[in-house]
Chains A and B, each alone.
Chain A
Amino acid sequence: MQEKEPSLEAIQDIRRMMDRSSRFISLSGLSGISAGVFALAGAFLGARTLNEYYEQKFAVYGYQGAEFQTLKGQLLLIAVSVLVAALLSSYYFTWRKAKADRQTLWNPTSRRLIINMMIPLLAGGVFVLTMLQYDEWRFVAPTCLVFYGIALVNGSKYTLGEVRYLGLLQILLGLICAQPYFVGYGLYFWALGFGGLHILYGVFMWIRYERKGA
C-alpha cells in the first residue's frame, strides 16, 4: 500500500500541469456578469434611442437625411461604449482572479485563447460591416450572435469547458433570430444573448468555482 500513494500523486501532478499549461482557467464568472450587465444597459439605451427616432422624427425624415445620420452615430457610440465597458470590466475581474490564483494574465494559454477567439470574431466583425455597406441591417444581430458563438466554441478548447455550451447557445439564438418571424426583434435577441446568457453563465460559473474560495 505504501507505494500507491506516490504514484497516484505523481499522476495527479502530471494531470494538473498538463491542464494548467494548456488551458487558461482564471476566467472569472464575474467577468461574464459584468459584460452581460453592460450589454443589457446598452441594449436598453439603444432601444430608447430608436423608439425616440421612430416616434418623433421618422415620419418627417424616414431613412435618410442628417437626422438619420445622427441616429446612426448615436447607435454606433452606444455600441462602442458597451464593447469598451464590457472588455474593461471583464478584464478587471479576470485579472483579479488570476492574481488570486497566482497566475499571470499574459501567458501562453491566455494568448492562445485570445488568438483563437479573435479569428471568428474579426471575420464576423468585417462581415457585419460589409452587410452595413449594403444597408442590410436585418442580419446584424444574428450574425453577431452566431460568430460570437463560434468564437466561444473555438476558444473553449483553451479555457474552461463550460464556455463551449455558452457558445452553442449563442449560435442557436442567432439562428433563431435570423428567421423571418423575428425580423425587427434583433435588438431583443442581442440583449438576450449578450446580456441574459452572459449573466446566466457568469452566475453559474461563479457559484461553481468561486463562491467558496472568495
Chain B
Amino acid sequence: MKNPINGLNKVFDNRVRLGVMSVLVVNQEISFNDLKSMLEVTDGNLATHLVHLEENGFVKVHKGFIGRKTNTTYSITKAGEKAFSDHIAALEGMIRGLK
C-alpha cells in the first residue's frame, strides 16, 4: 500500500500557513490586515509565515498604495493551488485509510 504521508506538504504543517492558504483559495486577493484579523495572529508572526509561503512560490505579493499608506495584498499562485489541493487530497487519504 502507498504511504499516504508522502503526499503531505511540509510547508502546510503549520496552522497559520494552512490558514493563509485556506483563505487565499476562496479570495482572489486579500490585504495583510484582513488576513491578520481573520487568522487572529500578530503582525510579526503572519509576516514570517507569508515570507515562507512566498519563498516556496505558493503566494504572490502585490505592493500598492492607498493614498500614502502602503497596502500589501496577497494572492495564491498556480503552484500554490496545486500544492494545497494535493495536501488536502493526502489528508483525505489518511482519514479514509484509517477508517
Q: Which residues of A contact B (CB under 8 A)?
A: 1, 3-4, 7-8, 10-11, 13-15, 17-18, 20-22, 102-104, 107-108
Contacts and interface: CB of A to CB of B under 8 A. Distances in A.
A4 B98 contact: yes
A29 B39 CA distance: 25
B30 A21 contact: yes
A21 B23 contact: yes
Nearest to A14: B22
Contacts of A108: 27, 30, 34
B91 A7 contact: yes
B49 to A, nearest CB: 13
The 3 closest A-B pairs by CB, nearest first: A17-B22, A21-B23, A4-B98
A171 B64 CA distance: 42
A7 B94 CA distance: 7
Contacts of A14: 18, 21-22, 88
Interface string B62-77: 0000000000000000
Nearest to B29: A108
A7 B95 contact: yes
A13 B88 contact: no
A103 B19 CA distance: 16
Nearest to B21: A14
Contacts of B25: 18
Nearest to A112: B27
B37 A3 contact: no
A76 to B, nearest CB: 38
B92 interface: yes
